[in-house]
Amino acid sequence: MTDHTTTLVAAPRDNLFGVCAALGEDFGFNPLWLRLGFAVALLFSLEKVLLAYVALGVLVLVSRLLFPNRRRAVATDVPATAANEADEEEYRQAA
């Protein structure tokens, strides 16, 4: 059986500074809920929502500069392991 569930991931160009996506990643929730909260709050007070969004953006920027995500840095710097090489060899033989 195949798994038909998909996860929607916004492309970087679809984000406004990536504040909601960064908060969702840091705290482990879907950023769509935060975006919907901002959208509803915009109906009541544009200035307060924009101020809150900018404040959260500055907070995310400072936290990312002071505490970089080590898992993301490690994942990009890890060389191919023996398991990855075995998988690649298996794919080559299958082709």
Q: Could you report the per-residue pLDDT of 40-93, keeping only the tens digit for each? A: 999 999 999 999 999 999 998 888 888 887 665 555 555 556 566 767 777 777
Is 6's pLDDT higher than 70? no
pLDDT for the residue numbered 49: 93
Q: How far is CA 21 from the centre of its chain?
A: 5
Q: How far is CA 25 from CA 36, 45, 60, in A?
A: 16, 26, 11
Checking if the pLDDT of 7 tops 70, the result is no
Q: Is 83 helix (H, G, I), strand (E, B) or coil?
A: helix
- pLDDT confidence of residue 39: 93
Residue pair 55/49 in contact (Cβ under 8 Å)? The answer is no
pTM, to two decimals = 0.57
